[in-house]
């Protein structure tokens, strides 16, 4: 059960990231969340929306795995691994904050799911 709760939390985090990247990117809240200057945010808005869409696919995969219950173990693991790898890349290329926001919750969910199996 803890693994599913953590998986749900990772899905919710990614739903929020979708909202930040697709809707709030070019607003003061988006600027603050991603440490953006307004001119850069405006110029990169389309790229951020595309990135947000990919984060939405990660959330959808996690929700799908949760929907399937115990039969969704492999799907949850696949999408959690995708989130963890994306977080590692983001942590190395963008900033360490991503490791705590994205990678750590995914890894904790992976461990909990594995132990609860």
- How much is the pTM? 0.91
Percent of the chain with pLDDT over 90: 94
Do residues 38 and 45 touch, judged by C-beta distance below 8 A? no
Q: How does DSSP classify residue 99?
A: I
What is the structure's pLDDT at 89?
A: 95
Q: Select from 98, 61, 86 the least CA-distant residue to 76.
A: 61
Per residue in 32-68, pLDDT (tens digit) is: 999 999 999 999 999 999 999 999 999 999 999 999 9
User: What whole-number distance in Å separates Cα of residue 92 and Cα of residue 17?
Assistant: 18
Tens-place pLDDT, residues 4-43: 999 999 999 999 999 999 999 999 999 999 999 999 999 9
């Amino acid at each position: 059960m803890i693994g599913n709760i953590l998986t749900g939390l990772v899905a919710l985090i990614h739903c929020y990231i979708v909202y930040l990247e697709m809707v709030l990117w070019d607003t003061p809240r988006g600027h603050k969340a991603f440490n953006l200057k307004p001119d850069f945010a405006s110029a990169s808005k389309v790229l951020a929306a595309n990135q947000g869409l990919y984060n939405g696919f990660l959330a959808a995969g996690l929700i799908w795995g949760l929907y399937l219950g115990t039969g969704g173990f492999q799907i949850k693991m696949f999408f959690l691994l995708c989130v963890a790898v994306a977080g590692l890349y983001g942590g190395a290329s963008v900033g360490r904050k991503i490791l705590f926001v994205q990678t750590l919750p995914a890894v904790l969910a992976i461990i909990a799911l594995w132990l609860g199996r």
